[in-house]
Amino acid sequence: MSFDPRHLQDIIACPKTKAKLVCDGDFLVSVDPATRLRYPIKDGIPVMLVDEAAEVSQNEWAEIMQRHNRNPETGESVS
């Protein structure tokens, strides 16, 4: 049985900002527009260490938010 990290996005939060996360491919991405942190998922396990996170560009972050039905400026859910 494999572990699906998408189920974690409703349980865990960004360790730096406590913002919600969205699962985007092999990453969990913070919905906080100020930090725009992306945490890797390695071998099916999220690496929730701030030192392992990468800041994504504003444009990439906005595209990720749109894919997940979130406001591309604020990260808030639009549904």
Residues 14-63 have pLDDT tens digits of: 999 999 999 999 999 999 999 999 999 998 889 999 999 999 999 999 99
Range of the domain at 57: 5-67
How far, CA to CA in Å, does 18 sit from each of 1, 5, 21, 58, 59?
Answer: 29, 17, 9, 19, 22
* Six token digits for residue 17: 């900002």
Statement: residue 1 has pLDDT above 50: no
Note the maximum CA span of the chain. 37
User: What's the domain count of the chain?
Assistant: 1
The residues, any chain, with a CB within 8 Å of residue 18's CB and separated by 6 or more, are none
- Residue 22 in any domain: the answer is yes
- Residue 27 in any domain: the answer is yes
Higher-pLDDT residue of 4 and 62 is 62
- Residue 75 in any domain: the answer is no
> In whole angstroms, what is the distance from residue 47 CA to residue 60 CA?
20
- Residue 54 in any domain: the answer is yes
- Residue 74 in any domain: the answer is no
pLDDT at 11 (0 to 100): 82
CATH number at 37 reads: 2.20.25.10
pTM summary value: 0.88
- Residue 76 in any domain: the answer is no
